[in-house]
């Protein structure tokens, strides 16, 4: 099936692709978690400070990359009247990135707990609140009753910068 540039993609095929991507993303997360546990790493356990600090920096960098991607995707489009299918794809992409940001924020919180009391209690609490804000955004996304995307992005960015300053 060859499409000319002027033809739009089949909606069912796009939705099927999005479903497959969501399934693969979930499977990758589960595989990563199982591999960590088999390697003897319990994500809820305390880590040695040097390992926790290194993982915290890596996780913070990955989170900042995701936050910047989401912020840049908000740049206004030239054409304001977006078709339903491209709008759905953009929303799906945001949702998938926000899910990854939620997992990274949770990991940052765990690493900060391993470093406590060498890091401030306020920073540990900020990580927990950031995670909660992302979860609330994801849970309330269909109704738009929860925090606004810009607030979640700002909170996440602040967490990463604060962590870089303190660790």
* Mean pLDDT across the chain: 83
Query: Tell me, what CATH number does 127's domain have?
Result: 1.20.120
Predicted TM-score of the model (pTM): 0.78
Asked whether residue 83 is domain-assigned, the answer is: yes
Query: How many domains does the chain fold into?
Result: 1
Asked whether residue 77 is domain-assigned, the answer is: yes
Asked whether residue 115 is domain-assigned, the answer is: yes
DSSP character string of 80-136: SS--HHHHHHHHHHHHHHHHHHHHHHHHHHHHHHHHTTSS-HHHHHHHHHHHHHHHH
Spatial separation of the C-alpha atoms in residues 94 and 60, rounded to whole Å: 19
Neighbours of 164 (CB within 10 A): 13
Say whether pLDDT at 54 is over 80: yes
Q: What is the mean pLDDT of residues 60-80?
A: 83
Asked whether residue 36 is domain-assigned, the answer is: no
Say whether pLDDT at 80 is over 90: no
Say whether pLDDT at 9 is over 80: no
CB-count burial class (<10 Å; 0-12, 13-18, 19+) for 104: buried
3: confidence class by pLDDT, cuts 50, 70, 90: very low
110: confidence class by pLDDT, cuts 50, 70, 90: very high
- Residue 130 has a pLDDT of 98
Asked whether residue 159 is domain-assigned, the answer is: yes
Range of the domain at 71: 49-166
Kindly report, residue by residue over 38-51, the tens digit of the pLDDT.
Answer: 776 666 668 889 99
Asked whether residue 9 is domain-assigned, the answer is: no
Asked whether residue 136 is domain-assigned, the answer is: yes
The secondary structure of residue 11, as a DSSP letter, is H
Better-predicted residue by pLDDT, 16 or 61: 61
- Residue 82 has a pLDDT of 65
- Residue 17 has a pLDDT of 74
Asked whether residue 13 is domain-assigned, the answer is: no
């Amino acid at each position: 099936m060859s499409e000319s540039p002027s033809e739009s993609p089949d909606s069912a095929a796009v939705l099927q692709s999005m479903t497959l991507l969501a399934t693969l993303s979930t499977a990758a997360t589960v595989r990563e978690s199982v591999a960590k546990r088999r390697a003897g790493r319990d994500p809820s356990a305390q880590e040695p400070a040097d390992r926790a600090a290194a993982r915290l920096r890596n996780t913070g960098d990955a989170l900042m990359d995701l936050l910047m991607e989401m912020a840049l995707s908000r740049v206004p489009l030239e054409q304001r009247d977006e078709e339903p299918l491209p709008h759905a794809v953009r929303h799906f992409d945001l949702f998938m990135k926000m899910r990854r940001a939620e997992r990274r924020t949770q990991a940052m919180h765990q690493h900060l707990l391993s470093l406590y009391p060498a890091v401030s209690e306020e920073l540990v609490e900020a990580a927990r609140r950031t995670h909660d804000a992302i979860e609330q955004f994801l849970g309330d996304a269909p109704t738009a009753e929860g925090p606004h995307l810009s607030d979640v992005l700002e909170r996440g960015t602040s967490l990463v910068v604060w962590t870089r300053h303190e660790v």
